[in-house]
Amino acid sequence: MIEVQLPEVIDDGRLDWALALMNASRAIGADGGDLRLNWGKVREISPGGMAILCCICDSLIEQRNHVKCVFVPKRFKEIPVVRSLTGIRPDSPLPPPGTYDFEDDDTMLRGRCSLDVMMGERFREKFSGAVAEDIAYDCLLILNELMQNTVDHSTAERYFLYAGLWGNELHAGVLDMGVTIPAKMQQRFSCSDDLEYLEFALKPGTTTRRQRTGGVGLSYFFSFLKRNGGKLTVMSREAQVRRYFSTRKSQRDMLKYPLRGTWCFARFPLRAK
């Protein structure tokens, strides 16, 4: 049995633990071993952390792992994805993405749905008291473009959208485990490594579509967050790009463990309405 200690805060910060867990699950599944998830130190799960757990749960089920969760804090036990994680067996079927849907006072999480179903008026109703109208508008545009990119490019049958308040920020993003950005771009472009592919994908006008115009999704992600002084994270295959627009800092790294999909996270700083 392999035991994994989950972090104190499950969010879109350092994600080596999540990628290591999903990669380890493949080896464990191949060997028929067991996996023990220790929740003893977990204090908080951010809105993005909910979507990360959905991808982890999918991965563990697909690898036919036998999972045992221990020391799960009582306040997390009724969250659908946590409940799903505690019941994984080698013969567990992959549930419909909507099985993980969750909503509380501060968070909305939906699996493979149209943006209208998840957001629209419900988004505005939920966050109107805390989020300025222009930020809400930009956030919805970003989610729409990221979801469209997921459908068009990754061809993922499963993806997860989230939005929520976290501290003094609005968090939103889309995560999928489909065809990666570098793999898709390799079909039309030639770059030296996955970092270059991600940077190239963020440039306005870059597209892999053949039948219709496109290429606005990730550039929207970039420009709207820049305008709002937000934070951007894009992870796909072997690389990640993080941009901190309020400080003009950036981080470009090769991942320690590959991500077989694409995770996009946005953070908007809140301001008085």
Domain count, the chain: 1
pLDDT at residue 210 is higher than 50? no
pLDDT class of 173 with cuts at 50, 70, 90: very high
Q: Is the pTM of this model over 0.85?
A: yes
Q: What is the pLDDT at residue 120?
A: 67
Range of the domain at 250: 2-269
Q: What is the pLDDT at residue 29?
A: 66
pLDDT at residue 170 is higher than 60? yes
Q: What is the pLDDT at residue 87?
A: 87
CATH of the domain at 148: 3.30.565.10
The 3-state secondary structure of the chain reads CEEEECCCEECCCCCHHHHHHHHHHHHHHHHCCEEEEECCCCCEECHHHHHHHHHHHHHHHHCCCEEEEECCCHHHCCCHHHHHHCCCCCCCCCCCHHHHCEECCCEEEEECCCHHHHCCHHHHHHHCCCCCHHHHHHHHHHHHHHHHHHHHHHCCCCEEEEEEEECCEEEEEEEECCCCHHHHHCCCCCCCCHHHHHHHHCCCCCCCCCCCCCCCHHHHHHHHHHHHCCEEEEEEEEEEEEEECCCCEEEEEEEEEEEEEEEEEEEEECCCC
pLDDT in tens, 33-60: 689 999 999 999 999 999 999 999 999 9
pLDDT class of 168 with cuts at 50, 70, 90: very high
pLDDT in tens, 105-164: 999 999 987 766 666 678 888 888 889 888 888 888 888 888 887 877 778 889 999 999
Q: What is the pLDDT at residue 217?
A: 55
pLDDT class of 85 with cuts at 50, 70, 90: very high
